[in-house]
Amino acid sequence: MEFCMKPIGYVESPYTSEEQIPKGRGAKHEAEGTLVVHPEFAEGLQDIEGFSHLFVIWVFHRSQGFSLLSHPPTADRPHGVFATRSPRRPNPIGLTVVELLGREGNRLRVRGVDMLDGTPILDIKPYLSSIPEEKLRRGWMDQEQGPSKA
């Protein structure tokens, strides 16, 4: 079964190359950017201003091919692609949580972008989580790099 998805918009980001994006455990994603929603989908932004954070589902549009094993820059060995955030995935879909700073029509000003400029956006959803920090596990990242200081 195949799915055909149409982007609802794109990201305006300060990052023009993958090398510019902070990576690895402890990387700070504080860059500000804009989620630009195509006019035909702008009505779907109604009432979004009440949320502090958003999930952004997007496409690794520059990624080519995939590998089932990935060697993250901070890891000492390869890991399965589904245990990493590698862009080289069977379905090149990305997921980012951003802080909503404001809305101007079909444009959402956000903090926390880790996408390239021009990245296609597939969906935006309010961020809701009921998982307390002390119950979160980070798999191999905790084992190789020690517990999070955050």
Residue 34 has a pLDDT of 98
Residue 145 has a pLDDT of 56
Residue 14 has a pLDDT of 96
What domain range is 72 assigned to? 9-15+28-145
Rg (CA), the chain: 16
Q: Give the residue, 90 or 140, on which the prediction is more confident.
A: 90
Residue 114 has a pLDDT of 94
The residues pairing with 18 across neighbouring beta strands, listed in sequence order, are: none
Q: What CATH number did the domain enclosing 136 receive?
A: 2.40.30.70
- d(C-alpha 147, C-alpha 150), whole Å: 9
Residue 150 has a pLDDT of 39
Tell me the per-residue pLDDT of 60-83, one tens digit each, with 9 for 90 and over.
998 888 889 988 777 889 988 888
DSSP string, 72-119: -TT-SS-EEGGGS--S--SS-EEEEEEEEEEEETTEEEEE---S-TTP
Residue 57 has a pLDDT of 97
Residue 140 has a pLDDT of 66
> Is residue 75 domain-resident?
yes
Residue 52 has a pLDDT of 92
Q: DSSP class of residue 47?
A: T
Cβ atoms of 120 and 107 closer than 8 Å: no
> Is residue 124 domain-resident?
yes
Residue 119 has a pLDDT of 97
- d(C-alpha 71, C-alpha 48), whole Å: 37
> Is residue 94 domain-resident?
yes
Domain count, the chain: 1
> Is residue 21 domain-resident?
no
- d(C-alpha 147, C-alpha 33), whole Å: 30
Query: Confidence band (pLDDT; 50, 70, 90) for 86?
Result: confident
Tell me the per-residue pLDDT of 93-148, one tens digit each, with 9 for 90 and over.
999 999 999 999 999 999 999 999 999 999 999 998 777 777 767 676 666 655 44
> Is residue 150 domain-resident?
no
> Is residue 4 domain-resident?
no
Tell me the per-residue pLDDT of 21-33, one tens digit each, with 9 for 90 and over.
887 767 788 899 9
